[in-house]
Structure 1
Amino acid sequence: MTRQFDDILLGSIELFCSAAELGSFTAAATAAAVTPAAVSRAVSRLEARLNVRLFVRTTRTLHLTEAGREYFAQCRQALNQLVEAERLVTGRQSAPSGLLRISMPTPYGHYRVLPLLPEFTRRYPDVKVEFHLSNRNVDFGDEGFDLAIRGRAPADSTMISRKLEDSELVVVATPDYLRQAGTPRSPEDLRGHNCIQFALPSTGRNIPWLFHQDGEDIELPTAGLYGCAEDILGAVTLARAGGGLFQTYRFIVDADLKAGRLVELMPEYGGRSRPFCLIYPHGRHVALRVRAFVDFLVEQLRDQPARPARRQPVAP
Structure 2
Amino acid sequence: MAMESFSTLECFIRSAEVGSFAEAARRLSLTPAAVGKNVAQLEARLGVRLFQRSTRKLTLTEAGQRFLAEVSDSFRTIQYAMANLASAEGQPAGLLRVSMGTVFGRLYVVPLLGEFLQRYPAITPDWHFDNRQVDLIGQGFDAAIGGGFDLPPGVVARRLTPAHRVLVAAPGYLAQHPPITAPEDLPGHAGILIRSPQTGRVRAWPLTSRWKEQRPLQLRQAMTMSDSDAACAVAEQGLGVALVSLPFAVPYLRAGRLQRVLADWYVDDGNISIYYAEHKLLPGKTRAFIDFVVERFAEQGLLQQFDALQAL
Instruction: Please classify the TM superposition score into its range, dividing by the shorter chain length.
Output: 0.5 to 0.7
Equivalent pairs, count:
252
Query: Which residue, out of 217, 220, 228, partners 1:220?
Result: 217
Instruction: Tell me the residue number matched to 2:144.
Output: 148
Equivalent position SS for 2:271: strand
Equivalent position SS for 2:114: helix
TM-score after normalising by structure 1? 0.67
Query: By how many angstroms is 1:213 displaced?
Result: 6.9
Query: By how many angstroms is 1:134 displaced?
Result: 1.7
Amino acid at match of 1:298: V
**Mapped contact 1:152–1:276 kept (Cα < 8 A):** yes
**Mapped contact 1:212–1:272 kept (Cα < 8 A):** no
Query: By how many angstroms is 1:289 displaced?
Result: 0.3
**Mapped contact 1:96–1:124 kept (Cα < 8 A):** yes
CA distances 1:182-211 after superposition (whole Å, capped 9, x unpaired)? 331111111011111112233322132633
Equivalent position SS for 1:267: coil
Query: By how many angstroms is 1:293 displaced?
Result: 0.3
Q: How does 1:11-30 map to 2 (within 5 A)?
A: none
Instruction: Tell me the residue number matched to 2:134.
Output: 138
Q: How does 1:150-299 map to 2 (within 5 A)?
A: 150-152=146-148, 154-207=150-203, 208=205, 210-212=207-209, 215-229=212-226, 231-270=227-266, 274-299=270-295
Q: For the structure 1 residues 3 and 92, does the alpha-carbon distance in structure 2 shift closer, same or farther, using more than 3 Å as the test?
A: closer
> What is the CA RMSD across the aligned residues, in angstroms?
3.7
Query: By how many angstroms is 1:153 displaced?
Result: 6.0
**Mapped contact 2:228–2:245 kept (Cα < 8 A):** no
**Mapped contact 1:271–1:310 kept (Cα < 8 A):** no
Instruction: Tell me the residue number matched to 2:68.
Output: none
Query: By how many angstroms is 1:260 displaced?
Result: 1.9
Instruction: Tell me the residue number matched to 1:58.
Output: none
Query: By how many angstroms is 1:102 displaced?
Result: 0.8
CA distances 1:144-173 after superposition (whole Å, capped 9, x unpaired)? 111112313644341121111114433111
Query: By how many angstroms is 1:3 displaced?
Result: 8.2
Query: By how many angstroms is 1:110 displaced?
Result: 2.3
Amino acid at match of 1:266: L
CA distances 1:273-304 after superposition (whole Å, capped 9, x unpaired)? 64111111112321100000000011011242
CA distances 1:213-252 after superposition (whole Å, capped 9, x unpaired)? 76414452432221112x3322222112222111223332
Instruction: Tell me the residue number matched to 1:76.
Output: none
**Mapped contact 1:87–1:93 kept (Cα < 8 A):** no
Q: For the structure 1 residues 93 and 156, does the alpha-carbon distance in structure 2 shift closer, same or farther, using more than 3 Å as the test?
A: farther
